[in-house]
């Protein structure tokens, strides 16, 4: 399954472009711009599984660094600071990874 099976290619392009500058990534705005806020929990889990490159059931810090590339190959890598901020926002139990729930 491709990301564009779930989200608009145009929305993805705009969102990735909006955060193309280093240290500009805002996960809340990004997820809103790509349309995830309006998706069902099932669709959000499908997006999660696309981003979970090693299919471990979790998105670890190393996978988060490449989250924008998970939406489009043209996306940039997140900085260490941006990656850690995204991990902190999603890691509710403090185990260093984000689960689908």
Q: Is 24 annotated as a binding residue?
A: no
Structural domain spans, the chain? 8-91
pLDDT per residue of the chain (101 residues) written in tens, 0 to 9: 899 999 999 999 999 999 999 999 999 999 999 999 999 999 999 999 999 999 999 999 999 999 999 999 999 999 999 999 999 999 999 999 999 88
Whether 34 and 71 have beta carbons less than 8 Å apart is answered as yes
What is the pLDDT at residue 25?
Answer: 97
Q: Is 66 annotated as a binding residue?
A: no
Range list of H helices, 6-97: 9-18, 27-33, 41-51, 61-64, 67-71, 80-90
Tokens 């995204």 belong to residue: 86
Q: Which residues contact 11 (CB under 8 A, 6 or more apart)?
A: 33, 34, 35
Q: Is 32 annotated as a binding residue?
A: no
Q: Is 11 annotated as a binding residue?
A: no
Q: What is the CATH number of domain 8-91?
A: 1.10.238.10
Q: Is 97 annotated as a binding residue?
A: yes
Q: Is 43 annotated as a binding residue?
A: no
What is the pLDDT at residue 101?
Answer: 81
């Amino acid at each position: 399954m491709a990301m564009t099976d779930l989200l608009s290619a145009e929305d993805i392009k705009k969102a990735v472009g909006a955060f193309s500058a280093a240290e500009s990534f805002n996960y809340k705005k990004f997820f809103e711009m790509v349309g995830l806020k309006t998706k069902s929990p099932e669709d959000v889990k499908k997006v999660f599984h696309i981003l979970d490159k090693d299919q471990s059931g979790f998105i670890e810090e190393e996978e988060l660094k490449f989250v924008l590339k998970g939406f489009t190959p043209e996306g940039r890598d997140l900085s260490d600071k941006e990656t850690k901020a995204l991990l902190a926002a999603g890691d509710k139990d403090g185990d260093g990874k984000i689960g689908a729930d």
